[in-house]
Amino acid sequence: MVVLTEMVEIRDAIRWHDAAGALAHWARAARAGNPLVRVYLYETWHALDDPEGWLTRLDADLTRHWEDEILRPALAETGVGAIHVIPAGQVMAAAVRAMEAGAVPGLTDRRQLFGQTPEGAPDQIHLGDWGNWLVALTHHAVIYHRLPEAAPVLHADGSPATPLPPGAEAALRQVVWRVVTGYPASGVAPARG
């Protein structure tokens, strides 16, 4: 398995670094080494203080940049094969909307998913423990086509972090699964019931 992503600002990656060509190159290289390799494109997010609006960018950029300017051109090249998308930015947006609508117990503000700078100021782009947990859960759901049974919140070094508020984990798990199974490019089939 190979997971590839692009830098932030996504428009700069497309304009100056041939993001689609790089994705195609690395997908072909991975397949040359192992024709059965699974290749994923990891969609990320923008800074909270983006002048166009954080949610506005996440809503628009999936199609206009990640799909139309990176994924589709890469898939059109010879020898690239299938590439699925890990929609972490879309999960972040859906989680924030749920939080801000009062549907995630104990979480009400998008900044609760983000970290702090070394000076103690709110970090506008890097996630904190709860945001990293959410993105890890998203990766797991796409790669394994299921959510893990237990998913404790951990620090980067593996030590236990502050747990999510009671009820928040279940609500966020539902958000992850809804987004992942509702987005065909993830490659995860919707649950049948």
Average pLDDT for 101-110: 98
For residue 192, what pLDDT band results from cuts at 50, 70 and 90?
low
Q: Structure pTM?
A: 0.96
Average pLDDT for 107-116: 97
The 10s digit of each residue's pLDDT in 3-61 is 999 999 999 999 999 999 999 999 999 999 999 999 999 999 999 999 999 999 999 99
Average pLDDT, the chain: 96
Which residues have a Cβ under 8 Å from the Cβ of 49 and sit 6 or more positions away?
Answer: 124
Structure-token match 């983006």, residue found: 50
